[in-house]
Amino acid sequence: MSDSGKTLWHGRFAGGPAEELLEYTVSLPFDRRLWPDDIVGSRAHVVGLEHVGLLTPGERDTILGALDVVHDEMMAGSFAFLPSDEDIHTAIERRVTEIAGPAGGKLHTGRSRNDQCATDLRLWCKRELRSVAARILEFQKVLLQRAEEVGNAYLPGYTHMQRAQPVLLAHHLLAHAWTFARDVDRLLATIERLDVSPLGAGALAGSSLPLDPAFTAAQLGFARPFENSLDAVSDRDHVAEALFDLALIGIHLSRIGEEWVLWTSEEFGFARLDDAYATGSSMLPQKKNPDIAELARGKSGRLIGNLTGLLTTLKGLPLAYNRDLQEDKEPLFDAVDQVRLALGALCGMVSTATFVLDRMAEAADSPTSAATDLAEWLVQRGTPFREAHAIVGALVRRTLAGDGGLAELVAADPNLGPEAAALVAPGVSVRRRTTPGGAGPEPVARQMERFRSHLERDRARVHVAPVR
Ligand code: ARG
């Protein structure tokens, strides 16, 4: 093994590591994407070392210069990794030392990969979780735009997957948009809580050197430094939280996926996908399949798996750092990637699809879906609701038994009559949903206004990094 191929811990060991050990323990294949954060973290550490007199300004600048070279090599894709580069931290320190000579050997002063990798991952989470939130905002915008555009179109609302009462399509679309507002909120809360710098915790116990964790925390733009070095290097709560947030987003996406699988079926026929967002069959020439919707439904499985996998890894881990913690990265990276991809694909699918509004209206206009309106009509005239329910229920039973159309039976009923029969006419029922937050045109117009301002506020929260 070449000199620069030595392990970071070679001094205490008689020989080099076994091939199988390296193969099994390396994390470079997946943690290399932390390189920008590792460089940022190292810069702050180096500036911090000079700040407390552990480096001369000259040494600091030499190391910062070497980190710039590493940055450029990474950007250009010309950084040469060695087989002995166990992880991204090892690789960058090794290269800095090659470039900076003896000053490079001071980069790791007072630092351990334990506080280093914890710092890098928190920097990564702050940026990437915010970018997931930004993607959600884009999807919410698509849902809002579609809601605005469909006006007072309506479809059946379902309970138990049985037609229940008609609702505006805009109301239905906004229901999903509000769901995602909670997801944005959760991501921002997770970012807020994880905004702690572990740098300066060392391997587990801090240092005999005069390090200043508050100074490096501020350099890195963290809200605060760690309170306890053991906690700082072993805490992965934020990864678990992020995985929960992402799993729940995945579950929300899966519900939309299922809905669109149904809506685009011949049986429902509520929506048609744009050709660019549908797939065909290799054997059946007539097929047009909603694969995006299906994968949005299906991939929730691995997102939940990523969360439960990490929780299981964390369970029972003694303080402080254990190599088990290296298992934090793959599920997190996968979850972020998958959710980002899903949101992009669903934005395209929903924004380009055609709603088949007459099919929706036809399905919603079955006379019995106005049954509750009939009962409420009676209530407004003094009939106790339970009695009204029974009167209308009996009419529904008769119409289903073939005694006549519901409007006809209502018109002839002594309790109801022709005025009530008008409620059964197409398009009437949905207009009667007038209460705040309800599914009819008046409350939905107000709701849409509220959602628009909510989205504006969230845009400011997500895009404008808080000034510390
Ligand atoms: N690759 C390791 C990880 O991601 C870095 C820390 C290794 N620390 C150690 N003492 N071996 O967790």
What proportions of the chain, in percent to the nearest 5, are helix, strand and coil?
Answer: 65, 5, 30
Contact in structure between 22 and 7 (CB atoms under 8 Å): no
Q: Give the Cα separation of 154 and 357 in Å (integer).
A: 7
Residue 421 token pair: 């029969």
Which pLDDT score is estimated for 150? 98
Contact in structure between 340 and 135 (CB atoms under 8 Å): yes
Contact in structure between 28 and 38 (CB atoms under 8 Å): no
Regarding the beta carbon of 27 and ligand 1, being less than 6 Å apart is answered yes
Using the mean position of ligand 1's atoms as its centre, give its distance from the Cα of residue 192 in Å.
25
The Cα-based distances of 414 to 205, 264, 284, 421, 452 in angstroms read 85, 43, 57, 12, 47
Other C-beta atoms closer than 10 Å to the C-beta of 436 total: 8
Regarding the beta carbon of 326 and ligand 1, being less than 6 Å apart is answered yes
Other C-beta atoms closer than 10 Å to the C-beta of 276 total: 8
Contact in structure between 163 and 156 (CB atoms under 8 Å): yes
Q: Quick check: bond before 371 cis, omega within 30?
A: no
Q: Which residues are annotated as catalytic?
A: 160, 281
Using the mean position of ligand 1's atoms as its centre, give its distance from the Cα of residue 220 in Å.
21
Using the mean position of ligand 1's atoms as its centre, give its distance from the Cα of residue 341 in Å.
29
Q: What is the DSSP string of 196-261?
A: EE-TT-TTTT--SS---HHHHHHHTT-SEE-S-HHHHHH--HHHHHHHHHHHHHHHHHHHHHHHHH
Which atom, in ligand 1's list, is nearest to the CA of 121?
Answer: 4
Which atom, in ligand 1's list, is nearest to the CA of 203?
Answer: 10
Regarding the beta carbon of 325 and ligand 1, being less than 6 Å apart is answered yes
Which pLDDT score is estimated for 467? 42
Q: Give the Cα separation of 400 and 391 in Å (integer).
A: 15
The Cα-based distances of 367 to 156, 246, 386 in angstroms read 12, 42, 21
Residue 21 token pair: 């050990």
Q: Give the Cα separation of 40 and 37 in Å (integer).
A: 5
Contacts of 370 (CB under 8 A, 6+ apart): 406, 423, 424, 428, 429
Tell me the Cα Rg of the chain: 30
Which pLDDT score is estimated for 466? 44
Using the mean position of ligand 1's atoms as its centre, give its distance from the Cα of residue 178 in Å.
40
Pocket of ligand 1, candidates 28, 111, 114: which has the most ligand atoms within 8 Å of its Cβ, to mutate? Answer: 114
Regarding the beta carbon of 353 and ligand 1, being less than 6 Å apart is answered no
Regarding the beta carbon of 119 and ligand 1, being less than 6 Å apart is answered no
Residue the block writes with tokens 């929506």: 271
Q: Whose alpha carbon is nearest atom 12 of ligand 1? A: 326
Closest CA to 233 of 317, 297, 292: 317
Which domains are delineated in the chain? 3-109 (1.10.275.10), 126-152+166-192+223-362 (1.20.200.10), 366-425 (1.10.40.30)
Q: Whose alpha carbon is nearest atom 2 of ligand 1? A: 326
Using the mean position of ligand 1's atoms as its centre, give its distance from the Cα of residue 105 in Å.
19
Which pLDDT score is estimated for 92? 98
Using the mean position of ligand 1's atoms as its centre, give its distance from the Cα of residue 318 in Å.
16
Residue 465 token pair: 């990094």
Residue the block writes with tokens 């022709």: 418
The Cα-based distances of 223 to 243, 268, 468 in angstroms read 22, 51, 7
Which atom, in ligand 1's list, is nearest to the CA of 329?
Answer: 4
Regarding the beta carbon of 87 and ligand 1, being less than 6 Å apart is answered yes
Q: Give the Cα separation of 445 and 441 in Å (integer).
A: 6
> pLDDT truncated to tens, each residue of the chain (468 aa)?
335 567 888 888 988 899 999 999 999 999 999 999 999 999 999 999 999 999 999 999 999 999 999 999 999 999 999 999 999 999 999 999 999 999 999 999 999 999 999 999 999 999 999 999 999 999 999 999 999 999 999 999 999 999 999 999 999 999 999 999 999 999 999 999 999 999 999 999 999 999 999 999 999 999 999 999 999 999 999 999 999 999 999 999 999 999 999 999 999 999 999 999 999 989 988 999 999 999 999 999 999 999 999 999 999 999 999 999 999 999 999 999 999 999 999 999 999 999 999 999 999 998 899 999 999 999 999 999 999 999 999 999 999 999 999 999 999 999 999 999 999 999 999 999 999 999 999 999 999 999 999 999 999 999 854 444
Residue 134: enclosing H or E segment and its boundaries? helix 113-149
Pocket of ligand 1, candidates 7, 22, 87: which has the most ligand atoms within 8 Å of its Cβ, to mutate? Answer: 87
Q: Give the Cα separation of 220 and 60 in Å (integer).
A: 17
Q: Give the Cα separation of 288 and 277 in Å (integer).
A: 10
Which atom, in ligand 1's list, is nearest to the CA of 117?
Answer: 5
- Beta pairing class for 196-197 and 162-168: unpaired
Pocket of ligand 1, candidates 317, 326, 327, 329: which has the most ligand atoms within 8 Å of its Cβ, to mutate? Answer: 326
Other C-beta atoms closer than 10 Å to the C-beta of 262 total: 16
Q: Whose alpha carbon is nearest atom 7 of ligand 1? A: 113
Regarding the beta carbon of 117 and ligand 1, being less than 6 Å apart is answered yes
